[in-house]
Amino acid sequence: MAETATATLKAPAYTAGGTERERVDLPAEVFDGTINMPVMHQAVKAFMSNQRLGLAYTKTRGLVTGGNQKPWKQKGTGRARQGSRRSPLWPGGGTAFGPTGRKYVQTVPRQIRALARKSALNARAREGALIVIDNFNYDKPSTKALVSLIDALGVAGKKLLVLTDGMKHNVFLSGRNLQRVHVMPYSDVSTYHILWSDVVLIESNALGYALETVEEKREPGGTKREAAKARSARAAKAEAKAEAKAAKKSARKAATHKAEAKSAKPKAKAAKKKPAKKSAGKKKGK
């Protein structure tokens, strides 16, 4: 059932570059702590049902081409009576009681949809999975900038929902190629999208207030992603070096075995020839 909380909800705030700011108070008219589970279930069920197209369709005997003539006469053939080759009993005939298209549309009242969306936002805020971003000022699409922000927030690998203040095409294009990132305007978000995500990023202007600009801070060692890349590169280099060393060692062993085999062959031949010469000399002496 519905849960409520009277305390003011707060959320962590960051700049678009990943610099941490002071925590901000979320607007009370939306984030009042209300969580209504049955309403969220109804909204999500209706959303998923409305995605279905219901295109399954089969032809009945009246829609299949042909079958106007009776296959054979009623009596005298010894076979069962038949009236049409398009009967469901015949191969190529119509389908009995098959699907003929269906609409799965479910309508939910506007107030219930608003309550479900409000409950989903409150659920993410109470979990600490809602982050406020001061402003997405992207002059051009940059997936690299969005990935660096995700790494700075420590939410890499999680399903991320980015809600912008209105339609921002550059931000949308920046996150379009990321598998676990979905970018959309705050006004278009649904209960399903909020509950699908693990973390929600909301632009401050979408919540009704603007944050002052803060100077970006850059870590001396670079971002976490760059450090991980450097570690993986070092590990790959060490692995390649070890493989080359092992290959050289095996090549040396093969060369020594080959040389030993070559030197052993003439010795074996000489050992076979010597006894034959001795026996030949004994025969001459006799």
CA distance 227 to 220: 11
CA distance 131 to 151: 14
pLDDT category at 150 given cuts 50, 70, 90 is very high
pLDDT at 261: 79
Element containing residue 213 per DSSP (H, E): none
Across-strand partners of 226? none
| Cβ neighbours around 52 below 10 Å, total | 12
pLDDT at 3: 67
Amino acid code (one letter) for 29? E
pLDDT category at 38 given cuts 50, 70, 90 is very high
pLDDT at 141: 93
pTM, two decimal places: 0.68
pLDDT at 286: 43
* DSSP characters over 166-204: S--HHHHHHHTT-TTEEEEEGGG--HHHHHH-SEEEEEG
- Tokens 């991320």 sit on residue: 160
Q: What is the pLDDT of residues 244-263, one digit of tens each?
A: 888 888 888 888 887 877 77
pLDDT category at 284 given cuts 50, 70, 90 is very low
pLDDT at 271: 62
